[in-house]
Amino acid sequence: MPRIALCQLTSGTDPAANLDLVREWTARAAADGARVVVFPEAAMAAFGVPLGPLAEPVDGPWATAVSEVAAEHDVLIVAGMFTPAGDRVRNTLLITGLGEHRGYDKIHLYDAFGFKESDTVAPGESTATVTVDGTVLGLATCYDVRFPSLFQKLAEEGAAAVLLPASWGAGKGKREQWELLVRARALDSGSWVLACDQADPAVTGVPVNPKAPTGIGYSLVADPFGRIHAQLGAAADLLITDIDPALSQASRTATAVLPNRRL
């Protein structure tokens, strides 16, 4: 039953400065007993700037430095970064610490609401899970939350919970969609969903490109019955929660949505 921390912060455009944030927030989370420390999508660098010059492989200096932070505090860190992919990049979740060091590449790209992520980002193709203290955790990124099949596939692969870093786009109705989608994916997969968004830059005072999806805050944890277990506001904040994997099995038994699927 791992204790999980969601670090709702606002990334800037400088990877070195963002690395300092990872160090600071990981230390805070570990001091409160977290075994898994989750940062938002684009934690390495905010959207709205050219990503190609910033991209590094998962064995590059930025990810290596994050792995050292994870080792120092004996935690697993999940943090959004960008890795090279030819003339584009991949939107990657770095998974590092507790004997792990690899990435999950975002499968579903945000070609929606007037944004065209696929112009600069290549899609991933494979799901990813990681086991911490006997609990299997699935990985998903932001726009992935609109696709129930991914969360159900992760459940079938044994995940009791899904970590969902995001940099959610602002706009009319978008907060309501964020909360609804997180809760729905929890219910229709019988999984905990721990959704860590970028804090709202308007509240944190960090200048960002207003045309890019740079977060609204309201990170939340939904339990496997779709109930809100914990939630933050718009400002930078730290959410630490304990999850009970047994509740995932209870939800799946009650709803039977996984075995009863016909399509």
| Active site residues per annotation | 41, 106, 142
Nearest Cα to 35, choosing from 4, 65, 9, 61? 4
201 neighbors 215 (Cβ within 8 angstroms): yes
Residue-wise over 157-187: b if at least 16 C-beta within 10 A, else e?
eebbbbbbbbbbbbeeeebeebbebbbbbbb
* Residue 209: its H or E element: none
Residue 255: closest CA among 159, 145, 152? 152
Cα separation values, 4 from 41, 104, 133, 147, 168, Å: 16, 19, 12, 24, 21
